[in-house]
Amino acid sequence: MQRSALARLLLLLLPLLATPSLCGAREYLQVFVTEPYLELHTGPGRGYPVTQVVPRAESVDVLKRRTDWFKVRSERGVEGWASQKDMQRVVLADGSPFTFPLGDRAGFTSHRIEGGIFAGDYSGATLISGYGSYSFNSQLAAELSVGQFLGNASNGTVVDLGLTHVIVPEWRLSPFVMLGTGIVRIEPKATLVVPLDRSDQTAYVGGGLRFYLTRRFFARAEYKSHIVFTSRNENEEVDEWKLGFAFFF
Amino acid sequence: METGIRILLLSVVLALSGCASLRNWLDRDTPKEETQDEAAQAESDDADEAPPRVIEPEVARRKIKVPKIDTENFEVGGMFGALSVEDFGTNPVYGVMAAYHVTEDFFFQAEAGRSTAGKTSFETLGGNIQLLTGDERQFTYYNLALGYNFLPGEVFLGRGVAMTSSFYLLGGIGSVDFAGDQKFAVSFGAGYRVLPTDWLAIHVRMQDRVFDSDLLGENKLTNNLEANIGLTVFF
């Protein structure tokens, strides 16, 4: 009975989801052109041609953003894509400058979220891994990485969770140190004597370098030294090396 | 009980309206004196230059709430095509893909797909010989790649429709699960993307998935070509 009432309530709420424009004040940001004119490209990229311009003092509505391009609509209803560089020179209705997060060196120094992909070596096996991190400040970040290693003797997955400390975030080539814990799951190949899968907890300490390339891109190389807490008498030590590309936003 | 609630509500309403009127009355008192003072001062300052202001504007500056701009850098969708597994024939493949566009030039892409490999010519000619079981014939892969957009352009449909398009190159790493074994695979390829609207994209792609295989006796690098058509949405 209660469930059917809940279902009915959800059904009633359904139209609200379908029509966000009715219940939410979804209006676009209006900005004013201060340069002689604002160039509108046909697509979000510098290669797309400029087919329209918006003259000084006219306004445009900012419809959406894709990478470093803004889709705008002029007062006359002309739509086009304006570059980030040009949009830095427009103003809001009260005359204040239009500001937005830029993908530049300042963003590299201090950002909230970053992610990337790596190729590397995990104790002799080929490693493919990806990571995501959340920064508390420009130096300290919590990081989650997931990887798969494929070797001749065994395959497996590695999941690590830990903290990363960037020593001097302002530097273009900046070193960092890492500390954390994780789980490794090893699946030995069937041809071997012990074809048993096993999962073990690990702890790691490591370090690396990150190098700012361009826009929101950087390269990252790192080394982790894992200690695998096995169920046997001695613990294993595993080295992990990897190199990859990452981005921030 | 019900009357009790009504009385309570009524008294709350009365109290609230009382407070409101009291505040209005208090507010009205204080600025009035100021405006009178100002007016008097203005009169004494420039009595014969400008007439005294009759209405003092009391407009509070409104705080403008800047609407959030919708960023559309993520792309997700599905794909369907044909995969040629080396020595095992060409078969349909289907999969999913997701991308994050970092700049107008570069994007990260993750994809996963599945196909079922056919028979080798050895199996076909040899009669009852089966190299792999049904499960082992399943070819499953995933791939993490970096993409580079180049040759941006536009496609025209008749007189009135123009759609933006772009070619892109892909290079990535991943794994292939085939014949009861998982192998490290490198993939590279190229694609063509057309956007009928800002949020919808049609992809036509060609990729080569390369991995080491010792399935047919000797260890060799196998090339597994895949051609597919994808449909993605940006959000």
Give the residue extent of every domain in chain B. 1-65, 74-234
Cβ-based neighbours of B132, under 8 Å, separated by 6 or more: B117, B179, B180
Superfamily for domain range A2-100: SH3 Domains (2.30.30.40)
pLDDT attached to residue A220: 94
Task: Give this prediction's pTM.
Answer: 0.75
A87 and chain B in contact, CB less than 8 A: no
A177 and chain B in contact, CB less than 8 A: no
Residue B171 pLDDT > 90: yes
Yes or no, beta carbons of A47 and B174 under 8 Å apart: no
- A233 to chain B, minimum CA–CA distance in Å? 30
Domain ranges of chain A: 2-100, 107-248
pLDDT attached to residue B111: 94
Q: Which residues of A touch B73 (CB under 8 A)?
A: 66-67, 249
The domain B74-234: what is its CATH number? 2.40.160.20
Q: A107-248 belongs to which CATH class?
A: mainly beta
* Interface probe with B: pick from A30, A42, A67, A152, most Cβ of B within 10 Å: A67
In 3D space, the residue among A128, A130, A103 whose CA is nearest the CA of residue A116 turns out to be A130
The least confident of A40-44, B20-24, B160-164 is: B20-24
A&B contacts, CB < 8 Å = 101
- Per residue of chain A (249 residues), give pLDDT as tens: 455 665 665 555 555 444 444 434 447 888 888 889 899 999 898 888 898 999 988 889 999 999 889 999 998 889 999 998 888 888 888 888 888 878 788 888 889 999 999 999 998 899 999 999 999 998 999 999 999 999 888 889 999 999 999 999 999 999 999 999 999 998 887 655 555 678 899 999 999 999 998 888 899 999 999 999 888 788 889 999 999 999 998
A148 and chain B in contact, CB less than 8 A: yes
What's the whole-number mean pLDDT along residues B62-82?
Answer: 85
